[in-house]
Amino acid sequence: MTVLLGYAFGIAWVDALIRLLVVVLTMTVLVMLLTYLERKVVGRIQQRIGPTRTGPAGLLQPVADALKLLGKEDLMPHTADKWVYQFATIAFFVPIFLGFVVLPFAEDIGVRVGLPLGLFFVIAVSSVGIVGLLMAGLASDSKYALLGGVRAIGQMISYEIPLVLSVLAVAMMTGSLDLREIVNAQDKVPNAVWQPLGFFLYLTACTAEMARRPFDLPVSESELVGGPQVEFSGIRWSMFQLGEYANLIILSAFGSIMFLGGYAWPLAGDAAWPVQVLLSIVKTFLLILVFMWIGATFPRLRIDQLMSFAWKVLIPLTFVQIFITGLVQTYDLPDIIMTVVSGGALVLAAMVVRRNVSKTGRRPRAERVAYIRARQAARAESRPLS
């Protein structure tokens, strides 16, 4: 659709402008819808009913929120780094929005479908947003924000790796980085069936990448009261919220494309385009619902557990997945072997993790206390009380 629209004008910059407009408008509307949906879903899980006051069934709640946020004063700490602080919000949500550009929602519907390096593009731009969090954390001149920013960096960089590696296994199966080709290759069986382990890893890494529970350490409300966003207010804060939910949409859509067969499965890709779009949307929302369900269920992890989970559990498992995929691809083994081994590895990993989830690289408490005492003693020695 939009592709046709752009070509109709035939002018490059009009084309680009229209595409950008489509991205921004779709994302904003979708994000508004998602904030409403999250409230309703979480409300149901908690035996509440969620928003009901604004509009029919509370549908206008996001609009009311947006208006409220627009009306709020744009506060900035006196000692904040002005430019970095103000630029941080933009640096956070623009790269996230960019990820939307290459996602195909039907055979030829999308903002810029058919990019040969589509997968690479999504991965590349989605990790740039981290910079915005770090900027916000450093510039706010608040200790909570600083800790949140540092946590965000550590977490996002760590979880970027299993995320990339788990989708890499999919790309290996298809032999292409073009998202359209990946979708079309799944017209019979979605990749999640062949690679249950990869799908699980992707979901886990995504949850961390979006900083949602149980990996919401950067924004942990009960410890850091909002992390990097703690000093932001009004419209700037809403930008963070926008970016977070946009991330949720994009990674869910991306996940549905990579693992659930996007628009192709189960109608084999020759359905009419509205049906294909509907399929993509349904799959995306299914994933979003799963993320919300996870988010409403779990407490959050501690930072060392989080990191050790990424480096000691997720990354080795992605290697397992890649290894199996490579083996099957190289020796032309039947695909079912991949399913069995991958599923087996998932169950095995679950059993191992069950027993050892609290075992991290953290030293025993006695050593930590000894370290603190030694440092205090050393400090007292070097700086005697005057």
Contacts to other proteins by CB under 8 A: 42-49, 52, 143-144, 146-147, 213-214, 216-217, 220-223, 225, 293-305, 350-351, 353-354, 357-358, 363, 365, 367-372, 374-376
Smallest separation (angstroms) from other proteins to the CB of 370 = 8
Smallest separation (angstroms) from other proteins to the CB of 367 = 7
Give the residue with the Cβ less far from other proteins, 14 or 353. Answer: 353
Give the residue with the Cβ less far from other proteins, 172 or 296. Answer: 296
Smallest separation (angstroms) from other proteins to the CB of 207 = 12
Smallest separation (angstroms) from other proteins to the CB of 295 = 6
Query: Taking the CB of residue 71, how many other CB atoms lie within 10 A of it?
Result: 9
Give the residue with the Cβ less far from other proteins, 280 or 305. Answer: 305
Give the residue with the Cβ less far from other proteins, 266 or 376. Answer: 376
Give the residue with the Cβ less far from other proteins, 188 or 363. Answer: 363
The gap between the terminal CA atoms of the chain, to the nearest Å, is 76
Smallest separation (angstroms) from other proteins to the CB of 51 = 11
Smallest separation (angstroms) from other proteins to the CB of 43 = 7
Smallest separation (angstroms) from other proteins to the CB of 147 = 7
Give the residue with the Cβ less far from other proteins, 270 or 367. Answer: 367
Give the residue with the Cβ less far from other proteins, 120 or 298. Answer: 298
Smallest separation (angstroms) from other proteins to the CB of 307 = 11
Torsion of CA 137, 141, 142, 147, to 10 degrees: 40
Give the residue with the Cβ less far from other proteins, 273 or 298. Answer: 298
Signed CA dihedral, 220, 223, 229, 234: sign only: positive
